[in-house]
Structure 1
């Protein structure tokens, strides 16, 4: 059983305005970084500045990580993730199953804290991934957006899908994102 983690965020966490594609700080997907990865999987996509989402193949690809300047990796999956040893990375791995009945909510405070701490450094570039880059990783990114900008789960999911078409949190994860949002609202 995992230890209980406080759901409160640092006071400065919500101080930034929510990004929009029209805002001057917004840089479109990939920030213009040319990717030379031949794969049927979608390329890593920048959801908000310096926060990328992708699949396991991207996380294990040293050339791609270096091209994107990735400094932190959040692995939202069980099993072994073979991050390249020659690329210096800070990592957090959450043992998430890809099932509507899997426990997501207990990991959201830790994942949100990891992302917020990393992204305080303007030079940091963070990759969030799961096996296919569809449900678990997008749910973790949505939780970050909910905590950072005070969005509803629906707003966060729509925003992530608008940037990264494969994003599709499973219904159980969407429900848990709602629980997470309500818990954050109680502490605000």
Structure 2
């Protein structure tokens, strides 16, 4: 199994575009994740940088949770850090696929943390087996799992799209549509979208029973 550090080292500087993600930690501290010299750097986010990196400063919380199945939810770190929201949806387990986002309530919920970089070059499919195993375990235990990343639009969405394709035999278009309807904000990065298309083709070839009409 590859490690995150190995994956980071495998990236070439030529393949890395300017990438910057704003993160708010559990304590409320604002940080910026950015790539420099092929390394991930995390720095404090001063107020004057509120509009840096192409982000429009938005202090409102994103508590919208996408209900894919009664036991499968998709959301942002804001939802994962809001106890009222977690209780409202009867969450029992959390799959955290963000990079550098803390687990807010370790004594209240069962967590699985798999740090994934939101870059087109990231091999998202390589994380599917471990993520899917956790989700399926929660279902068998009659629990409810919230899958989240930072904004709940790319990494977590790609994981759930892949899971629906894997577990229910859905084609990419159907799985994407279900997730988009449940959480309209989703927008997996172009690399993840391409990999999800290929994942559908792999499943189609392997099972021989998937078709575009499903």
TM-score by length of 2: 0.64
In 1, Cα distance between equivalents of 2:167 and 2:106: 31
In 1, Cα distance between equivalents of 2:103 and 2:112: 13
**Worse-matched range after superposition: 106-115 or 57-66:** 57-66
- RMSD over aligned CA atoms reads 2.1
Give the match for residue 104 of structure 1: 124
In 2, Cα distance between equivalents of 1:103 and 1:95: 12
Flag the 1:113–1:186 CA change in 2: closer, same or farther, 3 A.
farther
Q: Which digits, 9 at most, give the CA deviation of each residue in 1:21-69, with x for residues without a partner?
A: xxxxxxxxxxxxxxxxx94414222112221111011112223222322
Flag the 1:182–1:164 CA change in 2: closer, same or farther, 3 A.
same
**Worse-matched range after superposition: 174-183 or 130-139:** 174-183
In 1, Cα distance between equivalents of 2:202 and 2:112: 23
1:125 to 144, 153, 162: 144
Larger Rg: 2
Give the match for residue 84 of structure 1: 105
Q: Which digits, 9 at most, give the CA deviation of each residue in 1:73-112, with x for residues without a partner?
A: 011111142321341x222222211121112111011111
1:144 aligns with 2:144: no
Unpaired segments ≥5 residues, structure 2? 4-58, 208-214
* SS of residue paired to 2:2: coil
* SS of residue paired to 2:96: strand
1:177 to 183, 186, 196: 196
In 1, Cα distance between equivalents of 2:181 and 2:101: 30
> Across the two proteins, how many residue pairs are aligned to each other?
152
Q: Which has the higher contact order (CA 8 A, sep 6+)?
A: 1
1:65 aligns with 2:76: no
* SS of residue paired to 1:66: helix
Which structure's residues are more often strand, by fraction?
2
1:158 aligns with 2:180: no
In 1, Cα distance between equivalents of 2:178 and 2:138: 21
In 1, Cα distance between equivalents of 2:136 and 2:170: 16
Give the match for residue 71 of structure 2: 50
TM-score by length of 1: 0.72
